[in-house]
Amino acid sequence: MTAPLIDPFLRPITYLRLSVTDRCDFRCVYCMAEQMTFLPKKELLTLEELDRLSSAFIGLGVRKLRITGGEPLVRRDIMSYFKAMSRHLKSGALDELTLTTNGSQLAKYADELAACGVKRINISLDTLDEAKFAEITRWGRLPQVLEGIEAAQAAGLKVKLNTVALKGFNEDELFTLTEFCAARDMDLTFIEVMPMGDIGNENRIGQYWSLEDLRETLATRFSLADLPDKTGGPARYVRIGETRQRIGFITPLTHNFCESCNRVRVTCTGEIFTCLGQEGKSDLRAPLRASESDTKLNEAIRAAIALKPKGHDFDYSRQEVAGQMSRHMSHTGG
């Protein structure tokens, strides 16, 4: 039971993205419906169960743990979980503990996160225009996020911005966002919008902005050099010669990155999704709660990994959204 996790295509599974809540204080249009129905709190794993689940994965060879949501920092008492996970950093069993956040709560928690051993974080930010930010997040306030970025950097956290490329929305901010990050020594990663969940009147095809086109536009002003850098995720990176900053591209549609996939996602209810772009899932909550021993849980984890598919089927060709997922991104975890 101590053998590392290897999927059917001989890819080692060393990266767990764990959602700790489906709730969020924003309602981003590509992620959630405006009137979301959230899970009953009794269905969520307790913080103690999240600790046990995470520790089981770490015992099976996971070296990187990213906490997601929803917005992970709105979960009550979430810092007790981060403090618990810091023991795996101290023991050397875990290489990295990190999170993806919308930044709204960072002014409150940045120092505590740093004290728990978090070194770098991803902040989701799609626009620097206050009116557009209010539009795309529905409930969000840009000054609160900017304050959070400042607090994170002041606490010594390395910050990377994640920006979803949205046609007709932030195309005109490509250089503004790039220069904003360059001035603050932050990496920036662009992400193609993915067909996740029914979000009412939002048009996935109308939102889709190919990162090949984005990169071509970026190259009209800057010199771009491809980098071999790998951070454990799906991004491919370039270096901008003029600013020396690093820009990442996550391209699930124009460049399928499945051949190097080393990660799985577990929801706040204990469902494991071994592929973001497939509906297949397995339940880990039942074996977790079935016994105080981790034997059944470890067996269930291994059985789920054995079902991991080769890749996803996202496709926007022929002006239809093929491979669309029925679940919202906030349910799966970013």
160 marked ligand binding residue: yes
In a domain, 8, yes or no: no
pLDDT at 312: 54
Question: Tens digits of per-residue pLDDT, 283-334?
Answer: 999 999 999 999 999 999 999 999 998 775 544 343 444 444 444 455 555 5
Helix/strand/coil (H, E, C) string of the chain?
Answer: CCCCCECCCCCECCEEEEECCCCCCCCCCCCCCCCCCCCCHHHCCCHHHHHHHHHHHHHCCCCEEEEECCCHHHCCCHHHHHHHHHHHHHHCCCCEEEEEECCCCHHHHHHHHHHCCCCEEEEECCCCCHHHHHHHHCCCCHHHHHHHHHHHHHCCCEEEEEEEEECCCCHHHHHHHHHHHHHCCCEEEEEECCCECCCCCCCHHHHECCHHHHHHHHCCCCCEEEECCCCCCCCEEEEECCCCCEEEEECCCCCCCHHHCCEEEECCCCEEECCCCCCCCEECHHHHHHCCCCHHHHHHHHHHHCCCCCCCCCECHHHCCECCECCCHHHHCC
pLDDT at 32: 80
Mean pLDDT in the chain? 88
pLDDT at 259: 72
In a domain, 287, yes or no: yes
In a domain, 7, yes or no: no
In a domain, 218, yes or no: yes
In a domain, 66, yes or no: yes
263 marked ligand binding residue: yes
pLDDT at 146: 98
87 marked ligand binding residue: no
289 marked ligand binding residue: no
124 marked ligand binding residue: yes
Question: Tens digits of per-residue pLDDT, 14-54?
Answer: 999 999 999 999 988 878 887 888 889 889 999 999 999 99
266 marked ligand binding residue: no
11 marked ligand binding residue: no
52 marked ligand binding residue: no
In a domain, 2, yes or no: no
pLDDT at 251: 84
In a domain, 4, yes or no: no
Task: Give yes or no for residue 247 having a pLDDT over 60.
Answer: yes
Residue type (1 letter), 16: L
116 marked ligand binding residue: no
Question: Tens digits of per-residue pLDDT, 167-223?
Answer: 999 999 999 999 999 999 999 999 998 654 444 444 555 678 999 999 999 999 999
In a domain, 206, yes or no: yes
Residue 138 sits in a domain of what CATH number? 3.20.20.70
Domain that holds residue 161: 15-332
pLDDT at 195: 59
Question: Tens digits of per-residue pLDDT, 99-149?
Answer: 999 999 999 999 999 999 999 999 999 999 999 999 999 989 999 999 999
28 marked ligand binding residue: yes
Question: Tens digits of per-residue pLDDT, 253-285?
Answer: 655 557 778 999 999 999 999 886 676 899 999
* Total domains in the fold of the chain: 1
Would the pTM of this model clear 0.75, i.e. be above it?
Answer: yes
70 marked ligand binding residue: yes
24 marked ligand binding residue: yes
pLDDT at 3: 81
63 marked ligand binding residue: no
